[in-house]
């Protein structure tokens, strides 16, 4: 009995599954003839309006940024503010331009820093630079110690504190002690220090 019921179900499904369409395939399994090709669907949703927008993201372009055309927002998931948002953005831009112009107009020229201090960092020494001989001698001794000191960073102690302030005397001592590449006597000076 069970066999007859399954046979009837099989005959019914076999009967209803028959179609008159004929489809031809090539050896690779591609359809040659018989089936209409459907357009591939995009993996992205199209024409979906979110957060009260009336246009899609990417419908507006300004200053190398995409945005919504309805409210000219360039933030992706922002809420649509419509015409009021456009007016507010324009007012904010105008206010920013006014503030920049006001700041540029009211800004006085900066007071020049100490010319002597700036001149110490350059390669040219101004003629009016006054150096204290005692401080210069102290800076020369310090420069000699730095040259003799071990250059290995691994042997440096942990509690070493560096002073970033460089005085004109220290800069002059550095200039006096450093060896210039184009100095014709540089080889003679290196021999003298080894003797």
pLDDT single digits (tens) 143-165: 888 777 666 667 766 666 666 67
* Angle subtended at Cα 75 by Cα 72 and Cα 77, rounded to the nearest 5 degrees: 110
Q: Quick one: pLDDT at residue 48?
A: 80
Answer whether residue 53 shows pLDDT above 70: yes
Q: Quick one: pLDDT at residue 66?
A: 93
Residue-wise pLDDT for 93-148, tens only, equals: 999 999 999 888 887 655 555 554 555 556 666 667 778 889 888 888 888 887 77
Question: For residues 162 and 86, what is the distance between their CA atoms, to the nearest angstrom?
Answer: 54
Residues 6+ apart with CB under 8 A from 22: 34
What is the mean pLDDT of the segment spanning 41-50? Answer: 80
Determine the distance from the C-alpha atom of residue 76 to the mean position of all C-alpha atoms in its chain, rounded to a whole number: 20
172/66: higher pLDDT = 66
Quote the pTM value: 0.34
Q: Quick one: pLDDT at residue 116?
A: 46
What is the mean pLDDT of the segment spanning 44-63? Answer: 86
Q: How many CB atoms lie within 10 A of CB 56?
A: 16
From start to end of the chain, where are the E strands?
24-25, 31-33, 57-62, 65-68
């Amino acid at each position: 009995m069970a066999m007859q019921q399954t046979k009837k179900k099989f005959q019914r499904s076999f009967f209803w599954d028959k179609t008159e369409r004929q489809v031809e395939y090539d050896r690779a399994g591609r359809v040659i003839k018989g089936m209409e090709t459907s357009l591939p669907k995009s993996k992205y949703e199209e024409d979906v309006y979110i957060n009260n927008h009336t246009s899609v993201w990417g419908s507006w372009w300004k200053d190398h940024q995409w945005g919504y055309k309805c409210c000219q927002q360039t933030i992706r998931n922002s809420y649509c503010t419509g015409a009021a948002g456009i007016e507010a953005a324009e007012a904010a831009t105008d206010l920013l331009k006014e503030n920049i112009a006001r700041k540029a107009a009211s800004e006085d020229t900066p007071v020049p820093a100490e010319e002597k201090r700036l001149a110490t960092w350059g390669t040219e020494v101004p003629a009016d630079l006054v150096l204290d001989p005692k401080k210069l001698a102290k800076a020369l001794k310090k420069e000699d110690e730095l040259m003799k000191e071990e250059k290995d960073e691994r042997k440096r102690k942990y509690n070493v504190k560096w002073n970033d302030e460089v005085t004109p005397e220290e800069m002059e001592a550095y200039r006096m002690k450093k060896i210039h590449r184009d100095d014709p006597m540089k080889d003679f000076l290196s021999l003298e220090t080894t003797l």
